[in-house]
Amino acid sequence: LEALQHDPRSVTALMALGEMAILARNYVEATRHLERILVVSSLEEDLINAHNNLAIAHYENGALEPAMDHLKWVLQRAPTNPTAIHN
């Protein structure tokens, strides 16, 4: 995955890996992929999606405080974000 950070498609790949890991209930792996997005992207949309998915991964892994932190991050930047509001 280190090579992904220099590829312009890395965010898409990391998001897909993170979402597949969530579906497989491998929340530690999902967190690892999604946190990489926070490092390799500065696009608001990428960051919002990554934070929303990180909230889900942390919540499902029983880590409520980090889950809430990610949702708060999204809601501070996009108060009407439907995913964050729903979660």
Global pTM exceeds 0.85? yes
**Cβ contact 31:61 at 8 Å:** yes
Q: Check pLDDT > 70 for residue 49.
A: yes
What percentage of the chain reaches a pLDDT higher than 70? 91
Sequence-distant (≥ 6) Cβ neighbours of residue 35 within 8 angstroms: 50, 54
Banded pLDDT at 15 (limits 50, 70, 90): very high
Q: Predicted confidence band at 64 (pLDDT cuts at 50, 70, 90)? A: very high
* Residue 7: pLDDT band with limits 50, 70, 90: low
